[in-house]
Amino acid sequence: AQSVTQLDSQVPVFEEAPVELRCNYSSSVSVYLFWYVQYPNQGLQLLLKYLSGSTLVKGINGFEAEFNKSQTSFHLRKPSVHISDTAEYFCAVSDPKTSYDKVIFGPGTSLSVIP
């Protein structure tokens, strides 16, 4: 079964500094990959997704992620963070062969942007 690892449970970073949130998944077969953001007491919002094609995916709010098949990774990056980026970030994976979006989520990384 698929699993997702987010190595960092908490990431503090100063405002305007770059950030990378790490994500690894378990299977080397074809997958769909996602990053979601959750602000306090809210639902999840899709930041970006990788389905196929270019390994560098650009999303909303200036985030991007790079798919690395050999390392089974999908790290999320932003060159300069803002206070408003403080939130919980979830990496997720789903199997293209299933008939529904059985999305498996990682445990989440809490990003805290320090003024």
Partner 1 sequence: SQTIHQWPATLVQPVGSPLSLECTVEGTSNPNLYWYRQAAGRGLQLLFYSVGIGQISSEVPQNLSASRPQDRQFILSSKKLLLSDSGFYLCAWSALGGLPGAFFGQGTRLTVV
Nearest by Cα to 74 from 28, 115, 42: 28
What's the min distance (Å) between Cβ of 80 and partner 1? 26
Minimum CB distance to partner 1 smaller for 15 or for 38:
38
Give ∠ CA 41-43-45 in degrees, rounded to 5.
130
Minimum CB distance to partner 1 smaller for 16 or for 101:
101
What's the min distance (Å) between Cβ of 25 and partner 1? 14
Contacts made by residues 27-32, CB under 8 angstroms, sequence distance 24+? 27/2, 27/72, 27/93, 28/69, 28/72, 29/95, 30/96, 31/2, 31/93, 31/94, 31/95, 31/96, 32/93, 32/94, 32/95, 32/96
Minimum CB distance to partner 1 smaller for 43 or for 115:
43
Q: Would you tell me which residues interact with partner 1 (CB under 8 A)?
A: 32, 34, 36, 41-46, 49, 51, 90, 94, 96, 99-108
What's the min distance (Å) between Cβ of 90 and partner 1? 7
Minimum CB distance to partner 1 smaller for 77 or for 105:
105
What's the min distance (Å) between Cβ of 100 and partner 1? 5
